[in-house]
Every structure is written in structure tokens, then in C-alpha cells.
Structure 1
């Protein structure tokens, strides 16, 4: 059963990777800009003091403009820092120049950036390979986010382009549920705040 779920996840990741490769640059730029605008309009964003946000890779929502805006809005921003396989922490940055290519080539805070404890974070912007409108997330297979989120209480907002969303996500017991789904078509609230 578990092996079957893992295989289904692997196949879905492969399918989504193909779909992402077929997205036009124009679509991605427009979708990402709309998603960023929706995030900035969220009451959870406006009320948050400390925000956890990933630095998007080439195939993900481009979050660097969002991080820059958060910093200019006076928010304290934390970005994932991978320690080892499946083990990450969030480190606070003061500017985009604090981000350097880290493990897997993903931009990450430098070693000198302070750790941001999970219980001090108000809002988390979470990446995905794909997700659905029920807030179920398929990550990239490393388990980093599910492990980190398991011990966290902040509001979880998943960012995903509509064209790579899928209806059925193979879910295991350790897979963490999201509170809000944001795509270019709108905001879906799954948990009342």
C-alpha cells in the first residue's frame, strides 16, 4: 500500500514536470504576478510580522519579488535552509543579497543568517510540485516541508499555478494539509482564521 502510494507520487511528479516544461514563459510570468498580488492582499499577510517564504526555482512561482516586497513592507522574512536530507530550518534574511546558491542549487540564506524558530512565524508560503483545491500538496520528494510543517502552527499558504494543479493527490499520513491555496485564478480558504 505505502509502496503503491510512493509509486503514484513518483509518477505524478514526472507528469507534472512534463506539464511545467510545456508552460509558456508568458503564462508563467503573468500567473506568478497575479499570485504574488493575491498573497499581498491576504489579511494573513497584512497582519503577519514574521513570514516564511521559499526562494522559487526556475520551475516554481517566482517569489523573489514577493520577498523583496515583504522586506520593504517591514516584515521579518525567513527562507528555508537545508541542513541535510529531509532536515531544514528557516533563517532570517535582511535583503535578497543574503541569499546564495545552496544545496541542490536553490537560493538559501547564508550560514551567518539567524535561525527563525517555527513558533515565532505567523505565515508560511509553501512551494509544491502540484496541489489540489482541497489543500493537499505533493512536494518534490525530499520530505523537507512535511517534516518542518509537522511541528509548526503558522498559517500555511500554498502557491501553485492553475495549469499544474491536479484533482487527485496521493496522500500519506505524514503529508501536511495547507490552510489556503493561492493560484492565479484566486484564493481558496480551507481553514477559517
Structure 2
């Protein structure tokens, strides 16, 4: 089995595990992750934050985004612009978002671009990750391409119950600096 097949199999297994998580656990885990994120030195010192906009099955990032905006930080969120290619655009709140590709909220067209070199800290999604900072994404390669030359600090957020000891990776997979779980 090659790495691509290993990832596909692990992604399918993990999605089943995610579906089995209790609502109580996910709410409690998300609350703990939020507290850890907003208390990180890198987050507190950042003037420009890049954060994904969560879907229903992901860790809820709305509180993180609203905390950052309320703290006077500039907040950028991803916008898919092509196959495996995304940009980061600044939002002023959830009213700056519209339905985008893959059922994910993304910035409206009038939202200004934030260049990678302006970003201080980024919160990255995953299906699963290991404690070394390797993540299993959704398979589109958007984040690995975007983060390939990034100079800012990155943190992946993941519920403890869906972390894995082993995440298959190859040379194009970008290792994330920090792993934040509910533990």
C-alpha cells in the first residue's frame, strides 16, 4: 500500500471515529482547545491570525475567530481559488463570509487579501494528527501548498480521541509547529 492509499484508509477510519464522538465530548473538548489556543504566547502576541472556518464535524473555531477580532487582531480565513490552491482573506466578522466550495464558509469577494508574510500565527485543521505535528488533511493539499514557504508559527487543533500515533507522510507534507488537543 502506498502513502496515498494509507492516508485514504486512515481518513475513512478516522471519519467513522469522528461520527461516533458524543456531543458532550466534542463540546467539552472544543472548549478546552479554545482556552489553550487563546492562552498561547504566539496567539496573544500575534497581530495577524490565519484561522480556518470550521464545518459541523470540525472543532468549532468561531469562538477563536471572534476572540481574535474582539482583541483587535486582523483575522484571515482561507479561500479556495483553484485545485489545491487557496489564499487568505481578511474578515471583519461572520458577516464577511459566504457559502464557498466544499460547503465551507469563505470570505466574500470584497474581503482584502492577506499576504503570507503578514501572518504571525495560524490555526490549521486536520482529520487527525500525531503529537509530532504531522497532520492528516482532507486530501486536497491546500494547506500543504500554502504552508510550504510560510514563516509564521502554525498550530494544528485536534480532539485527543482522534489523534493517531502514526500519520503517513511524504516530502510535500508540511510539519506543523504546535499540536493542541483537549488534553
**What does residue range 150-161 of structure 1 map to in structure 2 within 5 Å?**
150-161=148-159
Please state whether the residue corresponding to 2:2 is helix, strand or coil.
Answer: helix
TM-score (norm 1): 0.93
2:34 aligns with 36
- Give unmatched runs, 5+ long, in structure 2: none
Q: Distance in 2 between matches of 1:55 and 1:44?
A: 20
- Give unmatched runs, 5+ long, in structure 1: 186-193
| 2:8 pairs with one of 3, 7, 10 | 10
1:74 aligns with 72
1:25 aligns with 23
How many residue pairs match? The answer is 183
**What does residue range 39-118 of structure 1 map to in structure 2 within 5 Å?**
39-118=37-116
| 1:122 pairs with one of 117, 120, 123 | 120
Q: Distance in 2 between matches of 1:95 and 1:14?
A: 33
Q: Distance in 1 between matches of 2:93 and 2:16?
A: 34
Spell out, residue by residue over 1:93-148, the C-alpha distance to the aligned partner (whole angstroms, 9 max, x if none): 01111011100110110011000000110000000010000111111000000000
